Structure 1
Amino acid sequence: MPGGNLFGGLFFILLVLAAWSSAISLIEPAITWLVENKQISRRRASVTAGFAVWLLGLFTVFSSNIGSEWLLFGMTMFGLLDFLTANIMLPLGGLLIAIFSGWVLSKNTTQDELSIQSAFVYHLWRVAVRYIAPLAIFIIFLNITGIIGYFTGIIG
């Protein structure tokens, strides 16, 4: 393709910019916490938080080469962070969202936000979010963590 190197280079430059903008928004709460609670300048808080994230990133990078023998709970740092985010944090977040949506938010709030006109359909949604979704997410969580192994034979 004519200009393929140019478009490829531009693509990866834009990809890096997108990643940096996401990283900045993710590190902002840590910076704000450091500024408010430790009474340090924003510049120093930014450097401190950035350095901490960089160090954590180094452990994940090293887990693929020179640190591949550094194991924590039988996993490399990359494997451990992957396990924690995919198998613990995501199901736990889903469970908390289901509980919050079903039990904390009022009926009027959820009806207004969802714009469900049918009372029957709304009732089905509310029952699913209050009872079925938390139970299903909890069973999936127990299965993923290995606490129960019931579904292993069924799913594969």
Structure 2
Amino acid sequence: MALLAGLAIFPLVFANGLEPGTGPGLIFVTLPLAFGQMSGGALFGTIFFALLLVAAITSAISMLEPVVEWLEEHKGVSRAKSAIGGGLAIWFIGIGTVLSFNVWEDLHPLSFIPFFEGKTVFDLLDFLVSNLMMPLGGLTIALFAGWAMKRQGLAADIGLQGGAYKAFMLVLRYLTPAGITVVFLYNLI
């Protein structure tokens, strides 16, 4: 879906002579301008942002599920209570990012560290997730799948055998961790 969205978004942006930008700037600044300049833009913009809302909600649910499951299994908390508690915790963190664009725009909690000087709560969370958590999560998954999972289980899960499986394992065990490590270190510099 993300690939299809990119195939629709970038031609729209370039056709209107706008700078694509990245992240929230692309979604909440550039795209509304692009939709505003096209015929039927209000309709297509409404459809696009409705679909974006659905994508965000389903992503949030999938990210909340491990927390809910862990609280159920290890702490004996009911599914409803753990979902509500986890959802509220995430909501409060989200409010901090929203306030970073208005009321808290002058709040820079880690400004005593030169690298984080001038970064708002949103900037800090964006850096944490994009540059630390996602690469480390990908690296952990690659290492676990490549080195810790049993061969039979992995082969059955991906449906590869023989030479294709060996090539896949070579990429998964060596190239993927090396590539993720390079990206991780590059983003920290």
Is TM > 0.5 for Structure 1 vs Structure 2? yes
Residue matched to 2:173: 130
Report how far residue 82 of structure 1 moved.
1.1
3-state SS of the aligned residue for 1:97? helix
* Distance verdict in 2 for CA 1:143–1:64, change over 3 Å: same
Q: Under a length normalisation based on structure 1, what TM-score does the superposition of the two structures give?
A: 0.67
Q: Find the aligned partners of 1:45 and 1:116 in 2 and give their Cα distance.
A: 38
Residue matched to 1:105: 149
Identity, % of aligned positions: 40
* Distance verdict in 2 for CA 1:5–1:138, change over 3 Å: closer
Asked whether the equivalents of residues 68 and 82 of structure 2 are also in contact (C-alpha less than 8 Å), the reply is yes
* Distance verdict in 2 for CA 1:52–1:124, change over 3 Å: closer
3-state SS of the aligned residue for 1:89? helix
Asked whether the equivalents of residues 69 and 79 of structure 2 are also in contact (C-alpha less than 8 Å), the reply is no
Q: Find the aligned partners of 1:6 and 1:52 in 2 and give their Cα distance.
A: 34
Q: Please say if 1:140 is aligned against 2:178.
A: no
Rg larger in structure: 1
- Work out which of the residue numbers 41, 58, 74 in structure 1 matches 2:95: 58
Of structures 1 and 2, the one scoring higher in RCO (CA 8 A, sep 6+) is 1
Higher mean Cα deviation, 79-88 or 11-20? 11-20
* Distance verdict in 2 for CA 1:46–1:123, change over 3 Å: closer
Q: Find the aligned partners of 1:98 and 1:144 in 2 and give their Cα distance.
A: 19
* Distance verdict in 2 for CA 1:131–1:69, change over 3 Å: same
* Distance verdict in 2 for CA 1:61–1:123, change over 3 Å: same
* Distance verdict in 2 for CA 1:116–1:55, change over 3 Å: closer
Q: Please say if 1:86 is aligned against 2:130.
A: yes
1:13-92 matches, within 5 Å, as 16=53, 19-20=56-57, 22-30=59-67, 37=75, 42=80, 48-71=85-108, 72=110, 73-74=116-117, 75-92=119-136
Amino acid of the structure 2 residue aligned with 1:98: A
* Distance verdict in 2 for CA 1:99–1:20, change over 3 Å: closer
Unmatched runs of 5 consecutive residues or more in structure 1: 147-156
* Distance verdict in 2 for CA 1:103–1:64, change over 3 Å: same
Q: Under a length normalisation based on structure 2, what TM-score does the superposition of the two structures give?
A: 0.57
Amino acid of the structure 1 residue aligned with 2:173: R
